[in-house]
Amino acid sequence: MKSSDACLLAALLSVSQVQATCTPGTRETISPDYIVEYQCNWLRIGKSHTGINSPTECAALARDAGATASAYHPPTKKCVVGREGGTEKANADTYYMVKVQEDEDEEDPFAMTCEEKEACLERETVLKAELASSKDQLAASQAECDSSRPDSALLKDILQSNCPSQHTKYGMVAGTRYRFWCGRFHEPAGQRESHSTATMEACVKLCTSKPWCTMVLHGIFRESCQLYDRKVKIEATPPQSSVLWNSAVNDRA
């Protein structure tokens, strides 16, 4: 075979090989940030390199050079790293590799306009102010409720020790159970302490505050409170009666 025929045969074989392996539109990842798309029989003028073994190696050279295109010629193992803005032209037997540009984020069609954002921020400011006001009102209401609790407890204690409605009845005053007698009382002599209190409720609370106290007498027409440590059964009916004294006995005895 003549040498010219051999060269022609080799050239035909190389062309057929490129056409068989170079598929336009095929993509290859050279590195995570450098993906190329193959085109065939095309190149961009640029810097040539020799002794390159594959299209992938050629594309890697372009990546390292910061270029976006390269062309590889298998028969000669040459690689052309395309120059940005360089001329592009047809060239047989080449792999032409172009970096795939990342798609820019498309604008959100439902994104708020500047006016809508401003209105939203204004509304948020108003809502925060309303929330703060509501919290202040709640705190004030809670404080008012807390302040009214002592008054409620006092009223309850007064009702529990009231005469004549509580006559012979049991009632809880300041956490201690008493039996109340209106106009009736046990022997008044021998009190352990005497105090001046305006109400039966206050007199009973004095008794409750003293662990030894078991009985009280409270003046109906005068602010007199007498405390006793006498052991008297809470069930026992007082033998004496008078319009001067009301009495109460607890179950400490």
> Per the structure block, which two tokens stand in for 238?
């007082």
Class of domain 3-99: alpha beta
> How far apart are alpha carbons 193 and 29 in whole angstroms?
102
State pLDDT tens for residues 64-113. 999 999 999 999 999 999 999 999 999 999 999 999 987 655 566 777 88
Torsion region of 85: left, alpha or beta (phi above 0 gives left; psi -120 to 50 gives alpha): left
Can 3-99 and 160-250 be said to share one CATH topology?
A: yes
DSSP state of 143: H
- The architecture that CATH gives domain 160-250 is 3-Layer(bba) Sandwich (3.50)
Three-class DSSP category at 116: helix
Per-residue confidence (pLDDT) for residue 242, from 0 to 100: 92
Per-residue confidence (pLDDT) for residue 17, from 0 to 100: 42
> How far apart are alpha carbons 253 and 179 in whole angstroms?
12
The amino acid occupying position 46 is: G
Looking at the chain, the whole-number percentage of residues with pLDDT higher than 70 is 85
User: CB–CB of 204/178 below 8 Å?
Assistant: yes
Q: How confident is the model at residue 141 (pLDDT cuts 50, 70, 90)?
A: low
Locate the domains of the chain by residue range.
3-99, 160-250
Per-residue confidence (pLDDT) for residue 123, from 0 to 100: 87
Is 60 exceeded by the pLDDT of residue 14?
A: no
DSSP state of 75: T
Is 60 exceeded by the pLDDT of residue 236?
A: yes
Per-residue confidence (pLDDT) for residue 133, from 0 to 100: 78
Q: How confident is the model at residue 135 (pLDDT cuts 50, 70, 90)?
A: confident
